Amino acid sequence: MPGALQTREALLDAGAALVEQHGLGGLSVNMVVAQAGVAKGTFYVHFKDRATFVDAMHKRFHGRVQAAVDEAVQGLEPGAERIFRSTEAYLDVSIANRGVKALSLEARSDPTVQGGPMAARRERLAAAGVADLKAMGWEDAEAAAQLIAAMTREISVLEFDAGCPLPASRRVLRRFLGI
Amino acid sequence: MPGALQTREALLDAGAALVEQHGLGGLSVNMVVAQAGVAKGTFYVHFKDRATFVDAMHKRFHGRVQAAVDEAVQGLEPGAERIFRSTEAYLDVSIANRGVKALSLEARSDPTVQGGPMAARRERLAAAGVADLKAMGWEDAEAAAQLIAAMTREISVLEFDAGCPLPASRRVLRRFLGI
DNA sequence: TGTACATCAGTGAACGCGCGTTCACTGATGTAC
DNA sequence: TGTACATCAGTGAACGCGCGTTCACTGATGTAC
């Protein structure tokens, strides 16, 4: 007999597992409750509607990433080493989280969940890199931070598909950063 | 009274316009025929089913990109300049094509259309870059080509959203390539 | 200790809706004689 | 030139289905007296 919070987590876990196979667009409330082993009505005890649920999945995933990144760069000065540590923390968390592909890529162009909060989470993550790039003497630091974020997402998807870290991809990222 | 081929193109145009607003998962046959101004049955005169239609959209988009890239690099030796010209050709075609975001990003994780043919088109495009990177003395040329493709896709999405080329992003890409 | 009531996560049948797909049919155009 | 037939893009009503959401209800747990 799980408590309320455990049921909520079970639904989010079910969603993460399913989104990986069916994509964000193919994720249905029916599937989620079946996977989680609860009744359909239970879903609406915990989430207002489908869009809220997708947002909650994205929020949970990004919360984990953000926490890992914050911890990894704690006390480091802005610069090349700090931005690379950020990307490594992102990758290490992502590889352990199901649904990465859908949540980091597909979430961007799915308008069933309104882009606002999800876009804000992505931006917050990329914004930290701007300070590092400026400290490294980059012009166009904003544009560079966006491209580094894009590469990092790409590697996370490749690593998740591979099931393990891909050192060659990480080396390339390092070399792009000039380290 | 349009001929058969024009109706087919009209359906693909309608799909490209709609996918941009609603994402690939939110694209329905109903919407496409309404936008194109034809009866529902007409859709199935031209396409076996929805998945075939999505594949045809992807094929058309990638065909245009591939043709532009092939023309842009014609006669050039493998190397830094050639790979940068490729990415520029990709970007210049993408900015003029609706639905870029969905077709270049979302198509990747949508399993309603089986990944096979679409993934093959992406790989063919990225594969050309490997020779350039090897000529430039890169180790991990395959991994680097994937990341360059990811950055190029990112820029194409940003440019499409902006509605015009973004020189800062293109400069960053150039600098990453060491040119 | 026993009884009455409040709370709240969980249930599942029922709803209306839009989906993808089918199919018998239409009507314009081209070809044969 | 006129008639008969073939072709084929286009039509739209109809289908069964799974979707997201609602809601009256259950039943376990906690609290008050």
What angle do the packed helices A80-94 and A141-162 form, to 10 degrees? Answer: 30
Is the pLDDT at B20 greater than 90? The verdict is: no
A114 touches strand D (CB under 7 A): no
Instruction: Please check whether residue A93 lies inside any domain of the structure.
Output: yes
3-state secondary structure of B101: helix
**CA B39 – C1' D20 distance (Å)?**
27
Q: Which of B54, B147, B148, B176 to mutate to test the interface with A (most CBs of A within 10 A)?
A: B147
| Domain encompassing residue A108 | 51-176
Contact (CB<8Å) A24/B24: no
pLDDT value for A2 = 57
pLDDT value for B173 = 95
pTM of the complete model: 0.90
Instruction: Please check whether residue A37 lies inside any domain of the structure.
Output: no
Alpha-carbon span A154 to A160, nearest angstrom? 10
Number of domains in chain A: 1
CATH number at residue B61: 1.10.357
Instruction: Please check whether residue B31 lies inside any domain of the structure.
Output: no
pLDDT value for A106 = 78
pLDDT value for A115 = 63
**CA B30 – C1' C18 distance (Å)?**
9
Average pLDDT, chain B: 91
Residues near chain C strand, CB within 7 A: A 2-4, 6-8, 38-42, 44-46; B 1, 27-31, 40-41, 43-44, 49-51
Is the pLDDT at B21 greater than 70? The verdict is: yes
- Cβ-based contacts of B138 with chain A (< 8 Å): 172
pLDDT value for B1 = 47
Its sign, for the CA torsion A78, A79, A85, A90, is positive
Instruction: Please check whether residue A64 lies inside any domain of the structure.
Output: yes
- Concatenating the DSSP letter of every residue in chain A gives ---HHHHHHHHHHHHHHHHHHHTTTT--HHHHHHHHT--HHHHHHH-SSHHHHHHHHHHHHHHHHHHHHHHHHTTPPSSHHHHHHHHHHHHHHHTTSTTHHHHHTGGGG-TTS-HHHHHHHHHHHHHHHHHHHHHTT-SSHHHHHHHHHHHHHHHHHHHHHHTS--HHHHHHHHHHTT-
pLDDT tens per residue across span A142-175 = 999 999 999 999 999 999 989 999 999 999 999 9
Instruction: Please check whether residue A43 lies inside any domain of the structure.
Output: no
Lowest-confidence pick of A130-139, A161-170, B54-63, B98-107:
B98-107
Q: How confident is the model at residue B119 (pLDDT cuts 50, 70, 90)?
A: confident
- Cα B72 to chain centroid distance, Å, stands at 16
Instruction: Please check whether residue B39 lies inside any domain of the structure.
Output: no
Residue range A123-147: mean pLDDT, rounded: 92
Q: How far is CA B101 from CA A126, A153, A162, B23, B123, in A?
A: 20, 16, 25, 8, 18
The one-character DSSP state at B110 is -
Instruction: Please check whether residue A3 lies inside any domain of the structure.
Output: no
Instruction: Please check whether residue B46 lies inside any domain of the structure.
Output: no
- Cβ-based contacts of A171 with chain B (< 8 Å): 139-140, 143
